[in-house]
Structure 1
Amino acid sequence: MSTTGRPTPTADTRTTTRGHRLTQSPLNIRGAVDLSALAPAKHQERLKEQTTNEDGVQIIPGPLVRDVTVEALQEFLELSLHVPLVIVFRSDRSQGSLELARTLTDLVRDLNGTIGLGIVDADNAPEIVQAFQIQALPTTVAVLGGNPVPLFQGTAAPEDASKALDSVLQAAQQLGVLGRLDGDENGRLPEPELPPHVKEARAALDRGDLEAAHAAYTKAIKENPGDDESKLALSQVELFQRITDRDPQEVLQAASTAPLTDVDAHLLAADVEVMARMPESAFARLLDVIRTVSGDERDRARLRLIDLFGIVGIHDPVVSEARKQLASALM
């Protein structure tokens, strides 16, 4: 029996990284689109400035029509922060869905980049179907500013589909999503130009040098204390540093028999759980510690919990609930 009252969890610590850079999947574990996975607002603002021409028109490299896979979904959602998009869910088993995809393809190409179309093969991307909570095929969804909006379900005549696209463009106008795609079949949403220290940190991460990345992000924050992106990246680097060369199963096994007063054991276990995409377990663990200890030890657990909130994503419902529990635990 665990002295913490929880069974030992099994950790799957496979994560998506670029070098050592932690990236989040836009599909969360509850089967919904996780907007907290998208790049921060400042990142998007820099990208908008970078891609706006002398006439004030934002031109984004990329095809007018593309297949959307699980691997490409995050980039597609980020594109919707700049260009209005539509997704049609199709299947080879549904002739109507294939016809609708062809109709939308023709209509979107006629709009000359003012709207983009993503085609999801529902049979080969069930994760996306689940994330968008698709109930029938075909289904068409608009994506504006990272937010999926149901458009229509079932087939549609070309004139009706055209009216639906017009409504998307009108909504995009009101939301200020006014970018255009240039039609380049090989084009991709570009990375924004970064400050020198951030470039240095990214390069260090790509070669796996966590110490150099830590130093570079620290410099970036010192130069710009309001750089929230670098603060988050620094927290991610520190998380990697804490668990590097640690065996996740050994860490969790040790914590399962450690008393809640063994703060170090539970801090490390919470790190492993977050990396294993088990934030609920990590937060519950640290909240138990906070309720049990006091003084400096309690403050250490509180600060680590807040740090992990930022890594998981402040808009994640799990974080919102844990914040409420933290406030209650501190009273």
Structure 2
Amino acid sequence: MAQEQFRPGFSLAGAVDLESLKHKVDAEPGTEGGAPAAGGYVIDATEQMFNSLVQNSATYPILLFMWVPTDNRLFPLATKLGDAVNAMNGQLQMARIDISQAPQIMQAFQLQGAPALFALIGGRPMPIIAGMPSEEETQQIIDTVLPQLVQLAAQAGVTGSAPYMGGAEGANNAGAEDGAEDAEAAEPAIPAAHEEAHRLAMEGDYAGAAAAYEQVLESDPNDTLAARERAKALLLARSANADVREVREAAAANPDDVNAQLAVADIDMIGGQIQDAFDRLLDFVAAGHKSEIEPVRQRLLEYFLIPDATDERLNRARRRLATLMY
């Protein structure tokens, strides 16, 4: 499917809703009295990251939440939407954009204030609602609109899974004792050595993240978390912006082309179809392409780092790869 890139304008927008100044809070997100923290499948995006969001929306659908993170009137809505998106386990990503710091986006989307919701699918923005929704409207968005966005994305060939960023559990209960305890226990802090790589991944610079994780591994080759995250970053750097339909058509049209099969296996991995990715490459070698086993082996070794080490699919795929090699 040809992707039509959406480009934000460059003229300045009008003033942000001044009413938000009356409801301004100074607490940091995720702390008592502050905005709900990002995490899981919810990210905070900037104006500079918008083109990356557009590109990523060719792989998985994105819910754009235009808000002001210091306006406490928006916190309950942000919490409900964030919880709903996280409950969908990567079927879509929620990108929160602070419009007080994004005048070009305000102009491009013709926003008069916050909040506003848009879907971004295949680079195309789709308006959902402008202004504060009622409780009934919010529930309708959660129960009906979000699943419909996933269906629309699938019809457009956008079937990948959004990357999980961690730190979601308990994050949207900031200020509540139980929520704070859950957040503390659920996700370990990002290791200091990983911070730069993690930041680059959050911003959609997957190639940069992979290089940063490589530096971590040079210092500590036994850092299994860095190895896993590097493998994920390499996968997304290669194929996060691929046109899913074109990749699958190319693989079907070129069954003997190892690069075409590697490309579609990447798409399967991004979409969470791990067994399909393993089987595709192993079946390719078994079908008389043993001369291509080395690039297949290298790609599979990278894939093997991504699932949980106890995943039975790993053991089966490793055994089969060993059999094909000898």
TM-score, with normalisation over the residues of structure 1? 0.43
Q: Normalization by structure 2: what TM-score?
A: 0.44
